A and B are shown apart, each in its own frame.
Chain A
Amino acid sequence: MQQQHSLPATRQVTPAAPGESIPVVPLRHPLRLAIAVVLILVALSAAWDVAVNQRYHWDVVVSYLFAPQIMAGAGLTVLLTVVSMSVGIALGTVLAVMRLSANPIVSTISRGYIWFFRGTPLLVQLIFWFNIAALYPVIAFGLPLGGPSLVLGSANVLITPLGAALLGLSLNEAAYMAEIIRGGIGSVDKGQYDAARGLGMNSSQLMRRVILPQAMRVVLPPTGNQVISMLKGTALVSVLAISDLLYSAQIIYSNNYQTIPLLIVASLWYLLMTTILSFFQTKLERRYGRGFDAAPRRNFRSKTRSMTRSKTRTIR
């Protein structure tokens, strides 16, 4: 109090009475608004052009959108993605845990696997599995050093094009997933291990109940990327003459020369599938983000509002 009195009164400020609120004029953002208007105009004109340009042949797009060949191709693409990702995630988890093992042989094997499958082109791996019969004409499970073996049959019969595609995609994906999951496990605080062990958990309970659920939060976003690039990457299997979505579209346009419309058909299906996947990714991220992300989610409406006028936000 005494200090305040001794200060020279340099400016006159009308003090607000206690409890009285002071009106606040929000900061205007005219440039922000102008840019938004320009961008909306550009987007609208582009959309209009696409809609009225006859050369897109939207009638052809519509007529082939639900063609049986396209539908079968889309189904196969989904099958390849689901199976390869499932095997890739399962095997990747095993490889990640192996990589972190205290046993040097186990971790070296995992390291070697990842080195090999990440280091060679997927296309090469696919063709390699397709031609595996050239190296191993007969597939059999047997004991090492010439022990008795169980013959399963000719490699040419067992490894179908679809089988080769699934093998190639899954084993390749496992190498990438292993690194993603290893990163997720590494992101979990070391104190969590002490706490879980202190409560009497063994290694497997520790991993399943405490470490992996927390790793999920870090693992999910890159895994979402992997799923989407797998979905589109399955197009690579057309080299094994498998009629996935893109290959089916290619077969059709090689007959009727409607290249662009059929590529649009395929793209629309790819877009639909990635949209559905992104939706589930968001749900999963929210599920595994529980307890970590205390900040409230900002929805679209509040985003558009903050574009035109500033809004006080509470920071947690």
Chain B
Amino acid sequence: MNTAMVEAQGVRKSFGSTEILKGIDLRVERGSVTCLIGPSGSGKTTFLRCINHLEKVDAGRLYVDEQLVGYAERNGRLYEMKERQTARSRRTAGMVFQRFNLFPHMTVLENIVEAPVHVLGRPRSEVTAEAQTLLDRVGLGDRGHSYPQELSGGQQQRIAIARALAMKPRLMLFDEPTSALDPELVGEVLDVMKSLAEAGMTMVVVTHELGFARQVSDQVVFMDQGVVVESGAPADVLGNPQHERTQAFLSKVL
């Protein structure tokens, strides 16, 4: 019945007395690409972090792969999840961060095999072979023994994508993956993301790259001040925005 990969119903989140998310309703279909756009402080990143349990949802329901995020529902009550359950359910989604967040004390290969070996308990030799395939896929097959610091930002972000993919997630979350990159390095990361989308990965992308949103996404969601202002096909939201806040934002960005 509920076949969406992500389903948000009235999701709310506050930090202290500031309400960041004021009731988000959103549906991400399996195999689709959704881009979250909007001005900074609109709650895009917070919502993305909620999907991966990095932030706790205060109110509303958020389902990822038909599982309620952060809580277990029994007899009409919500029970907060234990830490180990949360850690387990995080494996559904892979996350890529604005600042890459690679582990600097490990080589590229060690970064990629770390979680499959130590979290999933899979044999290292098998995972290493897979990691090499992933590295080839992001075009960095020869950099397995480098340390992250020795690589450019674009290369680091491609490694971060490979690291997330090594956990075989059913959903990929991207938090402004190109915002910390030099302009000439943005393209190589977007190319990897495009090929991932073509391979049928479900993706939620917080981005300022409207070209990418128009070209690759199935759904564009415009958020402002903690609410979804407008959502729909990229041609509609970006090409023919109905809401004046969307129009104002796009006129500033384009």
Contacts and interface: CB of A to CB of B under 8 A. Distances in A.
A191 B97 contact: yes
Which interface class (under 10, 10 to 19, 20 to 34, 35 or more) fits B?
Answer: 20 to 34
Contacts of A217: 105
Contacts of A194: 49, 54, 95, 97, 101
Interface string A280-309: 000000001011101000000000000000
Interface string A256-295: 0000000000000000000000000000000010111010
B105 A199 contact: no
Interface in B154-169: 163-164, 167
A291 B105 contact: yes
A210 B102 CA distance: 10
Contacts of A202: 83-84, 87
- Classify chain A's interface size: 20 to 34
Contact of B149 (A197, A210, A294): A294
A199 B163 contact: yes
Interface string B109-135: 000001100111000000000000000
A201 B95 CA distance: 13
B119 A200 contact: yes
Contacts of B97: 191, 194-195, 198
Interface in B31-69: 49, 52-54
A291 B107 contact: yes
B245 interface: no
Interface string A187-210: 001011011111111110100011
Interface string A210-246: 1001100100000000000000000000000000000
Contact of B104 (A199, A201, A214): A214
Interface of A: 189, 191-192, 194-203, 205, 209-210, 213-214, 217, 288, 290-292, 294
10 contacts: A198-B90, A198-B95, A198-B164, A199-B164, A210-B103, A217-B105, A288-B105, A291-B105, A291-B107, A292-B104
